[in-house]
Chains A and B, each alone.
Chain A
Amino acid sequence: MTAIDVKQPELPAANANRSPVTEVLISLSRSGSFLTGLVILLFWIVCALFGEHFTPYDPLADDIINALMPPSADNWFGTDQLGRDVFSRVIVGSRDILTVAPLATLLATVAGTTLGLFTGYFRGLVDDIISRILEAFMAIPVVIVALLAIVALGTSKSTVIIVIGLSFAPIIARTVRSAVLSERELDYVAAAQLRRESALHTMFVEILPNVIPPILVETTVRLGYAIFAVATLSFMGFGIQPPSPDWGLSISSNYGMIGGGFWWTVLFDALAIASLVIGVNLVADGVQGALND
């Protein structure tokens, strides 16, 4: 009898060996919108972290004599009604928004992912009850919830984080739920049941890693909205309190003066908010493109 040696099955060529993470990173590095957004975002992060070292003036220093000066060589963005340098205040004004908004988004992601995993995994009654509550929650505008919470809990950064985090959680939960629903039909979940894995293990160890891409996309999109929401709340006077330099706050305390022609006290803060939101959205766009390839 002739029987030749059966060769050991080989691993495929090196190219297929790239991990999915590497592939996403490569695709991100080629995405123009991601890189543009990243540059804008990094600029504001640097400003938030080290801004106070390179501002031309102390952002908190009053100088009543030079109040409401228009933009000039000395004060590039002019001065506000207390004579503080607007440029310096815009530079460091990103500090609070860049701590509050990401933390709120993180809270929303963690809470939303957990809710989404439970509703998507258990389906049935659990899903019906939780989903209806979340939908009811989503029907109330963020600002109204925020006002109620701030009245009840008092004004502080943590209140803002909790309020925005919890208002965004249902939206993330809904995205995660639909991803989990389709993952749940795959046979590896049945295989886990046949090993009698606990529901928690199946949800967090088996299913969660496979629904990371949609969560990542939703998180970056939400971050943009969170920045907007934080700015809105501080504009309304909730959240970050004076004299901290903050864009929303600054717009709210100065917008009455636009009529008097003092446009520079509002415009640059508004542009700063817009650029940060655009930067985050560009990043989100890039992430979405890379993950959906």
Chain B
Amino acid sequence: MIDTSTGPNALELHHLSVAYRVGRRNRAVLRDLSLTIRAGEAYGLVGESGCGKSTVALSVVRYLPRNGVITAGEISLAGHDVMKLDHEALRRMRAESVSMVYQDPGKALNPSIRIGRQLTEIFELRGISGQAAVDRAISMLNRVRISDPVRVMQRYPHQLSGGMQQRVGIAMALANDPTMLILDEPTTGLDATVEAEVLDLIAKLRQELSASILFISHNLAVVSRMCDRVGVLYAGMLVEEGPTEEVFNNPRHPYTVALLRCLPRGGQRKDQIRLDTIPGFLPSPGAQISGCPFADRCALADSRCHNELPLLHDLGGRLSRCHYHERAQDLPRTTPGHIAAAHVAAAPQPVLRIEGLNKTYAAHGHALRAVNDVSLDLMPGQTLGLVGESGSGKTTFARLLLGLVPADGGGTMELDGKTLASKLESRSAEQVKAMQIVFQNPDSALNRSHSIRHIMGRALRTLAGLRGAAQQKRLVELVRSVRLTERHLSVKPRQLSGGLKQRVAIARAFAGDPRIVVCDEPTSALDVSVQAAILNLLADLQTKERVSYIFISHDLAVVRYLSDQIAVLYLGRIMEIGPSERVFSGPHHPYTEALLSAVPKLDETEPSRVRLDGEIPSAINPPSGCVFHTRCPRKIGAICEEQEPPLFESEPGHKIRCHIPFEELARLQRKTDHINEVTA
């Protein structure tokens, strides 16, 4: 075992350059990267997609794809030069001293082998067999807080939930008692509540283990919670490095400053402020970079930045690759900080009124209640945010509204006072064009065979009834309104970046002057800088077009930025609904409370207190009484198990479905103090 005080550094990268060979050319992805992870340290690597984070991880274990080559530099793991290892030594290193946890645990586990077998195999490789290996596997599962390890050992990966799979993934990574643990976006595919649990687990394990950690994530808040030091990667270069707290509180590189500013936080709202964005794009892999890689996107850049690569300036325990690091904080905002709120008196009549909406699916002979007795109103020009874990019925609800799936009989929907049929075919042409959607994944939402002109032209023709010259005129207007140019019309979706594709999808939704646009996680597939631009666009379009949004997202800060009303769904039921600020500031439903405290925050001093155990129950067999009682941290007794609480209006417009009286909730939640700030 390495002595943590005097032993060699856990990982050292010296001037590492890695390239991918594409079409007979080497395209540089890592450029002269040097970093050091000390023994027992947790080091976070952040940056947008495409900046080379995963390539670092793969280089360390020499597991680059076949076209990946290390063109220069050294990698030293606990004092051993990884580059010089022969096949056998490399195998031993991977088996004994490094472990990796991957983003998608469902793909990292072998789907056709039971969990127990996959775990014991690791011990057998190390010469422990039979019952001893089984015992070790069970103790490993205990270690990652799996409460019933013997049963989990009997299962196949697909029988476990995502959170459980990732625990098993972590258990497997820890089984060889590694000195270096690499976590590559370990919580990215998980719900916020599950993410919080997994992060808690990793934090606890850190105290028990001696392993050093390389933690790769695009999520700044997660890294800030988990890591001692952080490195910011841009275009394969380290642009800033330092102790986590210092880097995030007092960033000294314009890129870090810009990244932090793109995040909606501190209760920022669409009617007060536009989010800051990072203009332009990341240099593509292999691009020739003569000066600072960030110069093209940096408002501070001058001719020196374009021509001369800045050194990594040592600022006393921290590094910044910027000529003007002392001015980084002065980076001008790309959007006006404050906007004049164009407050129009809310129309008294809701644009959409829903009463008692239900949807039941038949699943394996059982009835699955995906949406259960949902009633709500949506005002013109306002946004209703829908939040809840996956499986809470958000997307089904959106599809019911749009008529893509028919609702059960009994409920009513009204659009502008007129009954809205549950089947799309029975709706009037007016009603069809009045409700459109922006999907989560633009790659799936835009037909990859058609040009942007075709996609938009078709929408204008069918939804707005425009043809010929009128269509062309409106097409150009529409494209400009989402800040694209006519040049983008002739290309196919695959030639555009994710953010540009999502703009096209938004423009298409607005083709028929809709009254309501459903946004189903429209930014979750995008990087934060692009996310900010899309949120700004949605906010601007709403002000201009007086359109209402139904905004679905798992990211509470994003929902908060855009929403006027929030509905919290759990197992298809509304647990809480009310004005956005009321729901966030509380008192709130215990479930909302748990969701809020699950979100990692950038300036969190101590981990939040409220945690949910386990996963959302199956909608086929929902719990009796209050459906949330199985996980509720504030359960008061038998009444929760026996009676379903009503959705009680506790303040004007703010309804909570809980047996605990409103005043009592207020008192309880004040005691566990200020978790009301999502990202203060």
Listed in ascending order, the chain A residues whose CB lies under 8 Å from chain B are: 1-4, 6-13, 15-17, 19-20, 186-188, 190-191, 193-197, 206, 209-210
CB closest residue in chain A, given B338:
A1
- Report chain A residues within 8 Å CB of B441: 187
Binds A, one of B5-13, B274-282, B410-418, B651-659: B274-282
A7 touches B459 (CB 8 A): no
- Taking A12-B495, A193-B404 as given, write out 14 further A-B residue pairs in contact, using a Cβ cutoff of 8 Å, ordered by the A residue number: A1-B338, A3-B334, A6-B335, A8-B485, A9-B483, A9-B484, A13-B287, A19-B492, A20-B494, A194-B424, A194-B436, A195-B459, A209-B447, A210-B447
| Contact of B402 with A by CB under 8 A | yes
Assess whether B333 is in contact with A2, with CB atoms less than 8 Å apart: yes
* Residues A196 and B462 in contact, CB atoms below 8 Å apart: yes
B279 and A7 form a contact (CB under 8 A): yes
* Contact sample, A vs B, 15 pairs, CB 8 Å cutoff: A2-B332, A3-B332, A6-B483, A7-B280, A10-B281, A11-B491, A11-B495, A13-B287, A187-B439, A188-B444, A188-B446, A191-B439, A191-B508, A193-B424, A194-B404
How far, in whole Å, are A264 and B375 apart by their CA atoms in the complex? 85
Please measure, in the bound complex, the distance between the C-alpha atom of A16 and the C-alpha atom of B285, giving whole angstroms. Answer: 12
Q: How far is the CA of A11 from the CA of B485 in the complex (A)?
A: 10
Bound-complex Cα distance A188 to B505 (A): 10
Q: CB-CB < 8 A to B338: which residues of A?
A: 1
Tell me, in angstroms, the Cα distance from A195 to B492 when the chains sit together. Answer: 20
In the complex, A107→B505 CA distance in Å? 38
Do B447 and A194 have beta carbons less than 8 Å apart?
A: no
- C-alpha spacing A187/B23, complex, angstroms: 33
Contacts of A2 in B (CB 8 A): 332-333
Per the bound structure, the CA–CA distance linking A144 and B446 in Å amounts to 46
Given A11-B487, A191-B439, A210-B449, does the pair A4, B277 have CB atoms closer than 8 Å? no
B602: shortest Cβ distance to chain A, in Å? 24
B424 and A188 contact, CB distance less than 8 A? no
Closest chain B residue, CB of each to CB of A4: B299
Q: Complex: how many Å from CA A187 to CA B399?
A: 12
Cα A7 to Cα B402 in complex, Å, equals 35
Chain B residue at minimum C-beta to C-beta distance from A211: B449
Q: Beyond A4-B332, A7-B279, A8-B483, is A196–B424 a contact (Cβ under 8 Å)?
A: yes
**Within the complex, which residue of A6, A8, A15, A206 is in contact with B447, where a contact is CB–CB below 8 Å?**
A206
CA distance A16 to B287 in the complex (A): 13
CA distance A194 to B402 in the complex (A): 8
Secondary structure of the B side of the interface?
Answer: loop
The distance in angstroms between the C-alpha atoms of A191 and B429, with both chains bound, is: 15
A8: which B residues are within 8 A, CB to CB? 483, 485
A195 touches B458 (CB 8 A): yes
Chain B residues close to A by CB (< 8 Å): 23, 277, 279-281, 284, 287, 299, 332-338, 402, 404, 424, 429, 432, 435-437, 439, 441, 444-450, 458-459, 462-463, 483-485, 487-488, 491-492, 494-497, 499-500, 503, 508
Q: Quick one: given A6-B279, A10-B280, A194-B436, are A17 and B495 in contact (CB under 8 Å)?
A: yes
Which one of A1, A9, A19, A195 lies within 8 Å of B337 (CB-CB)? A1
**CB proximity of B500 to chain A, nearest CB, Å:** 5
A13 to B484, CA, bound (A): 17
Q: Give the distance to chain B from A71, nearest Cβ to Cβ, in Å.
A: 48
Candidates B336, B447, B462, B494; contact of A188 at CB < 8 Å: B447
Which A residues are in CB contact (< 8 Å) with B437?
190-191, 194
Give Cα distance in the complex from A3 to B281, angstroms. 19
Q: Is the CB of A195 within 8 A of B463?
A: yes
A69 CB, min distance to chain B CBs, angstroms: 56
Q: Which residues of B contact A7 (CB under 8 A)?
A: 279-280
- A191 CB contact (under 8 Å) in B23, B279, B287, B445: B445
Residues of B within 8 A of A16 (CB): 494-495
Write out the residue numbers on chain A whose beta carbons fall within 8 Å of the beta carbon of B280. Answer: 7, 10
Top-9 shortest CB links A-B: A209-B449, A187-B445, A195-B462, A2-B332, A187-B439, A188-B447, A187-B444, A186-B444, A7-B279
With a cutoff of 8 Å between Cβ atoms, the chain A residues found around residue B459 in the complex are 195
B488 near A11 with CB under 8 A, answer yes
List, in ascending order, chain B residues with CB within 8 A of A17's CB: 491, 495
Contacts of A19 in B (CB 8 A): 492
Give the chain B neighbours of A13 by CB distance below 8 A: 284, 287
Asked if B432 contacts A194 (CB within 8 A), the reply is: yes
* Closest chain A residue to B491, Cβ basis: A11
Task: State whether A3 touches B333 (Cβ < 8 A).
Answer: yes
Cα-based distance from A34 to B181 in the complex (angstroms): 47
Which of A11, A13, A17, A191 gathers most chain B CB within 10 Å? Answer: A191
Chain A contacts for B335, CB-based, 8 A:
3, 6
> Smallest CB–CB gap between B10 and chain A, Å?
38
Min CB gap B178→A, angstroms: 37
Cα A224 to Cα B227 in complex, Å, equals: 61
- The docked-state distance in angstroms from the alpha carbon of A127 to that of B439 is 28
Contact residues in A for B332 (Cβ distance below 8 Å): 2-4
A259 to B487 Cα, complex, angstroms: 73
- Between A1, A6, A10, A188, the greatest number of chain B beta carbons within 10 A of the residue's beta carbon is seen for A188
Find out whether the CB atom of B449 lies under 8 angstroms from the CB atom of A190. no
Closest to A212 in B: B449
Tell whether A1 pairs with B336 under 8 Å between CB atoms, given A7-B279, A197-B462. Answer: yes
Is the beta-carbon distance between A3 and B336 smaller than 8 angstroms? yes
CA distance A191 to B448 in the complex (A): 13
Q: Which residue of B lies closest to A6 (CB)?
A: B279
Contact A9 B333 (CB under 8 A): no
Which residues of chain B are near A210, meaning CB under 8 Å? 447-449
Q: Considering the chains assembled together, what is the distance between the CA atoms of A12 and B286 in angstroms?
A: 14
* Cα(A191)–Cα(B332), bound, Å: 39
Give A4 to B330 CA distance when docked, in angstroms. Answer: 13
A12 engages B497 (CB within 8 Å): yes
A12: chain B residues at CB < 8 Å are 281, 284, 495-497
Q: Which residue of B lies closest to A18 (CB)?
A: B495
A19 and B429 alpha carbons, distance in the complex (Å): 36
> How far is B438's CA from A190's CA once the two chains are assembled, in angstroms?
11
The residues of A that contact B450 with a CB separation of less than 8 Å are 209
C-alpha gap A194/B512 in the complex (Å): 11
Complex Cα distance, B485 from A6, in Å, reads: 14
The reply to whether A4 and B334 form a contact with Cβ atoms under 8 Å apart is: yes
Docked complex Cα distance between A69 and B496 (Å): 68
B439 to chain A, nearest CB (A): 4
Distance, CA A197 to CA B462, complexed state (A) = 8
**Distance in angstroms between the alpha carbons of A190 and B446 in the assembled complex:** 10
Task: For residue B632, give the distance in angstroms from its CB to the closest CB of chain A.
Answer: 35
Contacts of B492 in A (CB 8 A): 19
Min Cβ gap B199→A in Å is 31
B497 touches A9 (CB 8 A): yes
Min CB distance A180 to B, Å, is: 14
In the complex, which residues of chain A have a beta carbon less than 8 angstroms from the beta carbon of B446? Answer: 188
Smallest CB separation, B623 vs chain A (Å)? 31
What's the Cα separation between A191 and B441 when bound, in Å?
12
What is the CA–CA distance of A229 and B638 in the complex, to the nearest angstrom? 75
Give Cα A196 to B432, complex, Å: 8
A186 to B492, CA, bound (A): 17
Contacts of A197 in B (CB 8 A): 458, 462
Smallest Cβ distance from B403 to chain A, in angstroms? 8
Q: For residue A196, which residues in chain B have a CB less than 8 angstroms away from its CB?
A: 424, 429, 432, 462
Contacts of B497 in A (CB 8 A): 9, 12
A1–B463 Cα distance when bound, in Å, is: 40
Tell me if B404 and A190 are in contact (CB < 8 A): yes
Which of chain A's residues have a CB closer than 8 A to the CB of B488?
A: 9, 11
Q: Tell me which residues across on chain A come within 8 A of B444, comparing CB atoms.
A: 186-188
A20 to B451, CA, bound (A): 13
A9 CA / B279 CA spacing, docked (Å): 8
Q: How far, in angstroms, from A253 to B160 measured CA to CA in the complex?
A: 67
In the complex, which residues of chain B have a beta carbon less than 8 angstroms from the beta carbon of A194? 402, 404, 424, 432, 435-437
Chain B residues lying within 8 Å of A186, measured Cβ to Cβ, are: 444-445
Q: Which residue of A lies closest to B25 (CB)?
A: A15
CA distance A210 to B447 in the complex (A): 8
Distance in Å: Cβ of B579 to nearest Cβ of chain A: 29
Q: Which residue of B lies closest to A190 (CB)?
A: B404
